[in-house]
Each structure stands twice: as structure tokens, then as C-alpha cells.
Structure 1
Amino acid sequence: MQRNLNIITRKAERRSCRIFGKVRYLTKEVDARILDMSVTGMAVEIRAPIHAASGSRVQILADDLGTLQGIIRWSHNGRLGIQFDPNSNARAQVASYFRFFHKEIKPVLTR
């Protein structure tokens, strides 16, 4: 049995990161942590619900990245998948972050 769920996956390479910031939807702003990122989008963990549907436009505010414009593609258990707005300069901002500021995340616990 084959299931075709029509899930669109991110084509660009994801890189783990640990960036703190905020997600703004309309007038509501919540604390967030960026879990992974590529030049086309990011996965974000939010501390409080924002009640935004897939397709909603949001802003991501982070000191390391500046302000990024995006569209919510999925949400599940306090996490959001955000695709960057192709008409914004988000791709250049993310590429610049990876080139100049990003440090690889190392596990906190060792075995």
C-alpha cells in the first residue's frame, strides 16, 4: 500500500542552530528558538501559541539575523515550519549568518 501525502519537503540543506528570538503574527509576539535553518526556511519552537494557520505571514526577529519575513507551512506541538518570503532578502540574511556567525552545535551530554 502506497500513501501519497503530498508533503512538500525542504529542498535546501538544513543546518542545526540555537538562535533565540521572537515570532510576530499580527499584533502578537512570542518568544521562540530557531531549531534548524536553510536558505529557504526554518523550524521554530515557540513558547506560547499564536493561533496562526498554515499560509499565515509572520515575522521572525532575532539579533543574529535581523527581521525575516516568512509564511507558516506547518505547525505541530509548539513548533512551526516557516518558509521565507521569496520577495524578501531573507535568503541573503541567512547566507550571511552562516558565513560569518554560525558555530556548529555540539551535544551537551556525552556518553
Structure 2
Amino acid sequence: MRNLNIIARRAERKYCRIFGKVRYLNNEVDARILNLSITGAAVEIRAPLYAASGSRVQILAEDLGTLHGIIRWSHNGRLGIQFDPNSNAQAQVASYFRFFHKDVKPVLTR
């Protein structure tokens, strides 16, 4: 098995199905948040987003608002995004879990 250099989040993750967009510079692609924690998210993107690890991005979703973060890994149309600790992301995610989140089980596995 090859090493993908994916750094795992230590915060508890919850599976979800939140649709939105990922924005990098002037590019925006449709996306779906697969799992979410206070510190980051795993996101599936529907089209290529030409951003390297370490790039600053925004996640735009109706239930969450705009979250600012940094791409930590990218593999097979998925991104690992760590939320910017200087943004309001942690409060927005905590609010989402408190008022909107419903537990979701993954349908398919890769």
C-alpha cells in the first residue's frame, strides 16, 4: 500500500451530506462535504480544482455559510481541508452540529 501523506484529523468526525461549492481564487466547483469535524472537512469535488496542498480555499454551503481553510491533501476527486483557526469556522460548525446535523451513514465505500 502506498503512502499518500494524508494527515488525519484528531477531532471527532461526523458523516454528512452537505452540498455546496469550493472556491479557489476565481474558480468555483460544485462539491459535497462527506465528513465534518470542528477542525476540518473531507470534500468530494465534481470537477477538477487546480489547487495544491497548502492553498487557501473557501467552502460555501447554505447550512454552514462560508468556511475558510487550507487544503491538506487531495486524492481521486477528494480534498482534505483544515479550517483556518483565525476564522469563525469552528463556531459555524458547532452551530451546524447543534441545530441542523442529522446522522448519515455512508452509502458506498471506495
Answer yes or no: same fold by TM over 0.5: yes
Q: How does 1:1-111 map to 2 (within 5 A)?
A: 8-106=7-105
Q: Number of matched residues?
A: 106
Following the alignment from structure 1 to structure 2, what is the Cα–Cα distance between the partners of residues 64 and 102? 9
Per-residue deviation, residues 31-79 of structure 1 (Å, max 9, x unmatched): 0000000000000000001110000000000000000000000000000
Segments of structure 2 that go 5 or more residues without pairing to the other structure are: none
Following the alignment from structure 1 to structure 2, what is the Cα–Cα distance between the partners of residues 108 and 52? 28
Structure 1 residues 68 and 5: CA distance shift in structure 2, 3 A: closer
CA-based RMSD of the aligned residues comes to 2.0
Q: Which amino acid aligns with 2:57?
A: V
Following the alignment from structure 1 to structure 2, what is the Cα–Cα distance between the partners of residues 73 and 14? 16
| SS of structure 2 residue aligned to 1:64 | coil
Once the two structures are TM-superposed, the CA of residue 7 in structure 1 deviates from its matched residue by 5.2
User: Share of identical aligned residues, percent?
Assistant: 84
Structure of larger gyration radius: 1
TM-score (norm 1): 0.89
Per-residue deviation, residues 3-27 of structure 1 (Å, max 9, x unmatched): x987532110000000000000000
